[in-house]
Structure 1
Amino acid sequence: SPKQLPKDYQAEFAWKFYKQISQSFETNIVGSPYHIREAFACLSNVSLPSNTLSKEFQKAILLPRTNLIHTRYDLQRERFQCRDELRVATLAAGLGTKHVLDGKFRSTMDHCRMFQTRVATDHAIKMTQKLNGVFWNASNNEMRKFLSPTDIDVDWDFLIINSVILSAPWKYQFKPSDTTVCPFYASKSKQIYTEFMQVEGYFRYGYFSQWNLAAVEVPFQDGSPYSCLLMHSIDGSLSNMMKNYDHNRFREIYQKLNEGKTTIIMPKSIIRVSLKSSNILKSLGLKTPFTEKIWKVFNSPNGASLGEFMQKVTIQFESGVGQIVKNIPGRDLGNQFIAHEPFVFTVFDRQELTPIIVGHLIEPTKTEKPKSNHLMCQNPPRWTFKG
């Protein structure tokens, strides 16, 4: 039984994180709780021993002070680094002219594979230009103008920024759906015409009336350490579906999926979201604000203040260049996962079932193309929309 497995604090934090940000966003959301928690695990190594951080982190991000968590991140880092589907860049920057990054902080960030820089100016615009230039290089020219001057307070001692970009190719190639442009039912009263794509093949699928959801696993190309799970609610309410959701349920759902002939239809979309972790962690129980001097990362006996940990995540639902699925014989329709309504997605580590990215799509990319024959589009959801 999944309930007998050891507690996965990283995974439990991922679902706490998702539930919290889903309350703050009325539209599409995506975040990488894995990389936020990984960074704070590194920072815990350079926090002042006299502060109250330990108990608060235990509550907010479920971070017991143990070497086991650092060993796990090290092993996962090695496994994830061999692929480039998920491109991650993190920069820790000392700000202002008062302090110099000390050796322990530098070695800790090196170990965690974070880039480091120091911006010796007290001018917000110059800080922003410098940091954006450094991060442009650190992200292999993928993240341009990450920060604006309004993101920075010149009184901060240091800042961490993190970029996560997923463009993993699917194992099987999606193609334009037979109707291509159809309505997506964003709410009971709102329809958005968007481009859909579809694939028919043998996928792991499950319909769980007891949990008010249907789920399907959409694998990435062979050899990828990641996979993707899509879930939509049966009654039309994501909040009802996720109300009692935790990692035990995720594992149980995953174990109960059965492979069979399945058609997946979903909208083509790109989701980009920026998150500031201070408010998220505060809502999860971190009472000591970032502005308290609790990290001893500079040559100062009183520690230093983290200004903010900012994250930007980009995920693409595109057709890709996967294997072309041959026509499957038989007249049986098989399972149908038709995402013409809001759905939750999770990119997770296939080996340990740990969520890396979580989010939901409520409003897909709107298309300006002519509408398809509406009668040929998938029928509207049969449920009474409650979300």
Structure 2
Amino acid sequence: MTLDRRTVLALSGALVAGAAGCLGSGDDDGSNDDDTGSGADDGTGRQPDDGFDGYDVPEFPQLDLVTDPDVDEAALAAQVRGNVAFTLALLERLREEEPAENLFVSPYSVSVALAMTYAGARGETAEGMADALRFELEGEELHAAFGALEDEFARRNEDGEEVEQPFDDAGDENDGPAFQLNTANALWGQEGYGFREAFLELLEAYYGAGMQLVDFAGDAEAAREEINAWVEAETNDRIEDLLQEGDVSDLTRLVLTNAIYFLAPWRHDFDPAETAPGPFTGLDGEETEVDLMHQTAELRYAEVEGHQLVELPYANRDTSMVVILPAEGEFEAFEERFSVDRLAIMLEEMSQPEVDLTFPKFGIESRFSLLEVMADLGMPLAGDFSGMDDEGGLEIGEIVHQSFVEVDEEGTEAAAATAVVMDESAPADHVEMVVDRPFLFYIRDRPTETPLFWGRVVDGETLQEE
């Protein structure tokens, strides 16, 4: 790529790849002190929401890394908002199926896998995919931005070596795990099939997605096992059996895969001696005893109309978890009206008081078929994918996403993978926040403003199952 570093960072920040929320680069604890830009529609198809009563909606997001005069900041800001809107629409559709279940997903992984698929779409099919995924950039400009983001994550992972033994604010050594942020892409194509060289070269150039030849037609099961083995290796064995029996067949000609793995210690870790059993009230009103961690630290925090938000930085300072705790008894109403504007207001209201935080240890594993979900969002599954091959007869047969997260006193481990199967057609100075009821959270990469994972916790009974 010929992009200079400033432009790379700017495009990376804009292409949040299915972002669940966007924060500015701010200070070491994730502050975002500058005003930001917003549009009129969140793009989810719901009635536009101007945010909370009595609060002015700030501009959102801020692209303070854009210095190249040739970069259109308004277009990039629109792209960020579009990706946030895609994530909100995706989450809304997923929770409709199991509204009382915990959920965890990587919008980044889904977007990358489908952006690679989009590279082979043409005509109305490409337009439909772009609309469903809320892409604002087009063609090679879009893929270059995704490639820049992948490169930036690779650099972030290299810098993570510096925090293998992070230190807390008192200068004491913290024996937490080393920081890792790994992403990988790969193509799995039918041997002897006529894939277009331009398609393969584009995905190799911008996504590092080399072609692995397999024999779906002769032995689909062996091909499935090979793909699954790659996913397991790239996610530190956290994502197993991504593709299950029946997901690929002798009609499969191509599978596009993305895998992401994240491991990071907290900047302010929780003392295990302060972890104790306590009640967590689920969405159904039932109380379950869970292990609740505790810490008191200066953290980025906001409270708007009784809804609380706190940011927990990781030791490398470039990533953080943002926890959103709706007011008691208002989780469903909050989630239903949650929008880009509401997120922007909460981020704008952040200050850095001493926070007395109680937060549950938890683990979530999720697996979804996104075929109907993406169709409901308006994405064509069949149509013109002639940019992939010489035959022009491929269609999306399955979209599979699987994810994992574990949060404890030391930090967070998370992983996710996505496979797209192409078949031949045939406030105060001291505040308290007790997370003992349904909440939302996401993990972000701060310098590129990229939310990597998103989750909702509503059921305490399965929260800490081994």
TM interval, shorter chain, is 0.7 to 0.9
Give 1:357's aligned residue: 453
- Structure 1 residue 14 corresponds to structure 2 residue 87: yes
Residues in 1 aligned to 2:119 and 2:433: alpha-carbon distance in whole angstroms: 45
Equivalence for 1:227: 320
Q: Which amino acid aligns with 2:112?
A: E
Q: 2:345 aligns with which of 248, 252, 268?
A: 252
Q: Does 1:342 align with 2:438?
A: yes
Secondary structure at the residue paired with 2:385?
coil
Q: 1:321 to 1:278 in 2, by over 3 A?
A: closer
In the alignment, the residues of structure 2 paired with residue 149 and residue 351 of structure 1 have an alpha-carbon distance, to the nearest angstrom, of 40
Q: C-alpha distance in 1, partners of 2:410/2:452?
A: 21
Aligned: 1:129 with 2:225: yes
Work out the CA distance in 1 between the residues paired with 2:327 and 2:280: 16
User: What's the counterpart of residue 327 of structure 1?
Assistant: none
- For 1:101 and 1:153, the matched residues in 2 are separated by 18
The 1:310/1:18 distance shift into structure 2, 3 A limit, reads same
1:317 aligns with 2:407: yes
Q: CA deviation at 1:354?
A: 3.8
Q: 1:101 to 1:133 in 2, by over 3 A?
A: farther
Query: What CA distance in whole angstroms lies between the structure 2 residues aligned with 1:14 and 1:115?
Result: 28
Q: What is the identity, as a one-letter code, of the residue corresponding to 2:449?
A: L
1:294: which partner in 2?
385
| 1:56-67 mapped onto 2 (5 Å cutoff) | 56-66=128-138, 67=140
Q: Structure 2 stretches of 5 or more lacking a match?
A: 1-34, 39-58, 61-76, 158-178, 413-427
Name which of structure 1's ranges 213-222 and 241-250 shifts more when overlaid on structure 2. Answer: 241-250
Quote the offset at 1:10 in angstroms.
Answer: 2.1
Q: Which amino acid aligns with 1:57?
A: M
- Please name the residue that 1:109 is paired with: 203
| Per-residue deviation, 1:270 | 1.4
| Per-residue CA distance 1:152-194 (angstroms, 9 max, x = gap) | 2432322233333333211111123746111211134422221
Contact 1:175 1:319 in 2 (8 A): yes
Once the two structures are superposed, the pairs formed by residues 74-153 of structure 1 within 5 Å of their partners are 74-82=147-155, 83=157, 85-95=180-190, 99-110=193-204, 111-122=206-217, 123-139=219-235, 142-153=238-249
Identity of aligned residues (%): 16
Find out whether 1:215 has 2:309 as its counterpart. yes
Note closer, same or farther for the CA distance 1:233–1:295 as it changes in structure 2 (3 Å cut). Answer: farther
Q: Deviations over 1:282-341 (max 9, x none)?
A: 12111x22x44525323x24242232232222222111169xxxxxxxxx9921121111
Look up the equivalent residue of 1:62 and give its one-letter code: R
Alignment gaps of 5+ in structure 1: 323-331, 370-387
CA shift, 1:260, in A, is 0.6
1:292, 1:305 within 8 Å by CA — same for their partners in 2? yes
Mapping 1:188-199, distance limit 5 Å: 188-199=284-295
In structure 2, the residue matched to 1:30 is 104
Question: 1:153-164 residue pairs with structure 2 within 5 A?
Answer: 153-164=249-260
Contact 1:267 1:339 in 2 (8 A): yes
Q: What residue in structure 1 maps to residue 124 of structure 2?
A: 52
TM-score by structure 1 length? 0.80
Please, which moves more after superposition, 71-80 or 133-142?
133-142
* Cα offsets for 1:134-161 (capped at 9, x unmatched): 4344545554433221332432322233
Whether the aligned pair in 2 keeps the contact of 1:295 and 1:305 (CA below 8 Å) is no
The alignment partner of 1:216 has SS state of strand
Query: 2:23 aligns to what?
Result: none
Q: Greater CA deviation, 64-73 or 357-366?
A: 64-73
Distance 1:18 1:357 in 2: 12
User: Could you tell me which residue of structure 1 aligns to residue 165 of structure 2?
Assistant: none
Distance 1:185 1:177, change over 3 A: farther
Assess, with a 3 A threshold, how the Cα gap between structure 1 residues 134 and 58 changes in structure 2: closer, same or farther.
Answer: closer
Asked whether the equivalents of residues 238 and 404 of structure 2 are also in contact (C-alpha less than 8 Å), the reply is no
Q: Which amino acid aligns with 1:318?
A: D
2: CA distance, partners of 1:356 / 1:138: 16
CA distance 1:317–1:128, shift in 2 (3 Å) = same
User: Which residue in the other structure is 2:355 paired with?
Assistant: 262
Q: Tell whether the 8 Å contact from 2:125 to 2:383 is kept in structure 1 after alignment.
A: no
- Are the aligned partners of 1:93 and 1:158 in contact in 2 as well (CA < 8 Å)? yes
2:369 corresponds in structure 1 to 276
In structure 1, what is the equivalent of residue 69 of structure 2?
none
**8 Å contact from structure 2 (residues 153, 182) kept in 1:** no
Task: List structure 1 runs of 4+ shifted beyond 6 angstroms.
Answer: none
1:167 to 1:222, Cα distance in 2 relative to 1, 3 A: closer
Q: Which residue type is aligned with residue 99 of structure 1? A: Y
